[in-house]
Amino acid sequence: MTIIETKLPGVVIIEPRIFTDDRGYFFESFSQRLFEEKVCKTVFMQDNESKSSYGVIRGLHFQKPPFSQSKLVRVIKGAVLDVAVDIRKGSPTFGQWEAVELTAENHRQFFVPRGFAHGFSVLSEEVVFQYKCDNYYAPQYEGAIAWDDPDLGIDWGIPADKAVLSEKDRKHARLKDTEWLFDYTERLY
């Protein structure tokens, strides 16, 4: 696998080594050993999958300690724009974001570590999206930031009038008004 660093330390794009022939393709989508050697030491304990249609935006979500989560995400059908936002107070990159297009064709994966909010927009007619989490989902520890926070200025790759959101995702506060954020000096792993 090839690791592509981003401007946000710890947030990486992973490109698998793909073997193709006249039958199709094969690639190793995850190896705990390689992940720990090249990205970080963590153990994934929950796999999730969602299906969405064009224009859906999910995010920007995170979980607070002690249920903070890292996510390793990928697309198996369609395309998304996947986004990570640094929400660690005191971080040199606080409030900055990184985005990557994940598609069934490019097989890229995106690692979003603890201390970052995560979201994605669906660019294709339909998407099947998978993600590994290194902690269990705990609804009482959910946190979120407004997907359309003007201070962040995220270009989701779809017109705002075509955005499809859950009722909950329509009501999140802007980053500057969020009551709970991570502390950059705190160890998250």
> Structural domains in the chain?
2-183 (2.60.120.10)
Got the DSSP string for 51-66?
EEETTBEEEEEEE-TT
pLDDT tens across 53-93, in order?
A: 999 999 999 999 999 999 999 999 999 999 999 999 999 99
Nearest to 148 by CA among 166, 161, 160: 160
Q: Can you tell me the distance from the alpha carbon of 95 to that of 46, in angstroms, rounded to the nearest whole number?
A: 27
pLDDT tens across 141-168, in order?
A: 999 999 999 999 999 999 999 999 999 9
Question: 3-state class of 169 per DSSP?
Answer: helix
Q: Are 160 and 40 in contact (CB under 8 A)?
A: no
Both tokens of 90, joined, read 């005191």
Indicate which residue of 25, 107, 118, 131 is catalytic: 131
- The yes-or-no answer on residue 131 being catalytic is yes
Question: 3-state class of 1 per DSSP?
Answer: coil
Question: 3-state class of 180 per DSSP?
Answer: coil
Q: Are 157 and 57 in contact (CB under 8 A)?
A: no
Q: Are 142 and 65 in contact (CB under 8 A)?
A: no
Q: Are 43 and 37 in contact (CB under 8 A)?
A: no
Amino acid 119: pLDDT: 98
Amino acid 179: pLDDT: 87
Instruction: Compute the chain's Rg from CA coordinates.
Output: 16
Indicate which residue of 25, 61, 172, 184 is catalytic: 61
pLDDT tens across 7-43, in order?
A: 999 999 999 999 999 999 999 899 999 999 999 999 9
Which ranges of 46-180 does DSSP label H, i.e. alpha helix? none
- The yes-or-no answer on residue 137 being catalytic is no
Other beta carbons within 10 Å of 1: 17
Q: Can you tell me the distance from the alpha carbon of 107 to that of 114, in angstroms, rounded to the nearest whole number?
A: 23
**Model confidence, pTM:** 0.95
